[in-house]
A and B are shown apart, each in its own frame.
Chain A
Amino acid sequence: MSTANQAAVERYRNNFLKEVEANVEEGHMVKMCMQCGVCAGSCPLGPHWEHSPQKIFMMIRAGKRDEVLGSDSMFMCTSCYNCIVRCPRQLPITHIMHGLANYAHRLGIAPKGQPTREFATLFWNNLTKKGRVNELTLTLRHYFRGGLVSGIKEALAMQGVGLGLLKAKRLNPMEIFGGHGVKDLKGFHAIIAKAKEIEDRKKGFTA
């Protein structure tokens, strides 16, 4: 168990709702849920969630810490915002799902190998590297995430799409050598480092 996770367990004991309220983005809104289920019925990936947002909210109140933070459900969120606009109690459900996924990921207890967890991490690392997304390296790193052999297989399967984009001038092979980025990269990195430092201190990710 990671140190941050251990510390959180000891600090909040059996009060998981309190832990979520303190450490999860928009977590203070969880208790507003009235269990109507509109979110569960509105989600485009509904059939693929082990636990719908409605269930997650009740599980938080029931103190099911391991089950919630170990669930892959939050990673099924496509950020379509259907649940947010339909929720009669105006819970920012999308943000709470993102917040829970982020918290579980940072504590190191989110499901290992979850494909969206991996892609989302890749995406953030890609955009922060140069300040702008490099679509080519993002795609390549995604295809080659499982190693060279499976990467070549996946890339070959998608080569028609890649060539089409290349022909349409919507993909630049030269991006492999760097590509678009911000000029004040030093400043950009300093902002992220400082923001992370402040947030980590507040959420107990750093000692």
Chain B
Amino acid sequence: MAKKEYAFYPGCSSQLKASASNYLVSTNSICNALDIKLTEIPDWNCCGASVGYCEGGELPRVAINARNFAQAETHLPGQDIVATCAACWLGARESKERLDASAQLMKETNEALAAAGLHYKGEVNVRHMVEVLIEDFGYEGLKQPMKKSLEGIKFAGYVGCQTNRPFGIDGESFENPMYLDKMVETFGGEALKTYDQKVTCCGGALAFSEPEKSQKQIRDIVESAYDHGAEMIVTPCPLCQANVEVYQSEINKKQGTKFNMPVVYYSQLMTVAYGGSAKDAALNGQLIRAEKLEKIAGK
């Protein structure tokens, strides 16, 4: 039996050949190393994300999240729901807290769920993978399966928004959370603690609808990483990862910068530290190759 078991909510971007498939692959690798068993919530659906607000009202958004809760409660009783995506965690946890706080909302939600023959009792717990790692394993515990040090790599820990606000991780400050830096140090990397764009918004979904405004945000995030001597950016959020990595070439084209800063997930650097190959860490899934990490993985 695995050391820990969770009901896994991967989310739309962490599917095969989706934009965060490298997050999914590397998450599976670290779970193997830590003896964590993730079981996908059967037939899970999208959380609605933040930008779903315009067309989807409060009740439809809460109801689709409650559909996942009902599935988890029925098929994976007693297991905490764990999301890797920041938006999934936020959408699900926000729904859960609203349902906990309002009997009226719970009643209406169950009325909607009944249309598909489902019922939510109100028993799930919604957590982010980073919470699980830090709270259930702890930095010392995470160090146990470590085989290689990430010594010599300078990481800018880019936490972003939704894995930080409004819920926070492990009770840390919203303005300067340290967990990502601590994770980097746990595996022997150098955390650039004075990196000042740590919690800056990448623009989120507005990277699509307001590209210029978002690319200004992204430029600040990447530029500051260079200014602090970073060799790569590490992040816990799939939208942060995609936005900050993908749009560097656009910014270069429009503004004449020469950005080429790798952006990896914490799960990718952990996979390498746990002795996994570049393939286990899905480093082939980067648009901007993280060569320093690939080198350690190849040793």
B52 touches A124 (CB 8 A): yes
Contact of B46 (CB < 8 Å), options: A45, A76, A118, A132: A132
B39 within 8 A of A: no
Q: Which residues of B contact A180 (CB under 8 A)?
A: 12, 15, 18
Contact among B15, B53, B165, B284 with A81 in the assembled complex (CB-CB below 8 Å): B165
Q: Distance (Å) between the CB of B22 and the closest chain A CB?
A: 7
Contact A198 B55 (CB under 8 A): no
In Å, the complex CA distance between A190 and B54 comes to: 20
Which residue on chain B has the smallest CB distance to residue A174? Answer: B17
B111 contacts chain A at the CB level, 8 A cutoff? yes
Contact of B64 among A85, A139, A160, A188 (CB under 8 A): A188
Q: Which of B114, B204, B213 contacts A48 (CB 8 A)?
A: B213
Tell whether A118 pairs with B166 under 8 Å between CB atoms, given A135-B18, A194-B115, A196-B59: no
Chain B residue with the shortest CB-CB distance to A24: B58
CA distance A206 to B30 in the complex (A): 50
- With A44-B201, A79-B51 in contact, is A133–B46 under 8 Å at CB? yes
In contact, B54 and A165 (Cβ under 8 angstroms): no
Contacts of B22 in A (CB 8 A): 168, 170
In the complex, chain A residues whose CB is within 8 Å of the CB of B201: 44, 78, 80, 82
A170 touching B285 in the complex, CB below 8 Å, given contacts A164-B246, A191-B113, A191-B115 = yes
**Contacts beyond the supplied A98-B50, A191-B116: 18 A-B pairs with Cβ under 8 Å:** A25-B58, A48-B213, A79-B204, A82-B165, A85-B165, A102-B56, A106-B57, A120-B209, A123-B52, A125-B55, A135-B19, A158-B250, A161-B247, A164-B249, A170-B20, A190-B115, A194-B112, A195-B64
Residues of B within 8 A of A (CB): 12-13, 15-22, 43-46, 48-60, 62-64, 67, 108-109, 111-118, 161-162, 165-166, 174, 200-201, 203-206, 208-210, 213-214, 217, 246-247, 249-250, 284-287
The 10 A-B residue pairs with the shortest CB-CB distance in the complex, in nearest-first order: A187-B116, A79-B50, A120-B54, A81-B165, A98-B53, A172-B17, A124-B55, A80-B201, A190-B115, A119-B209
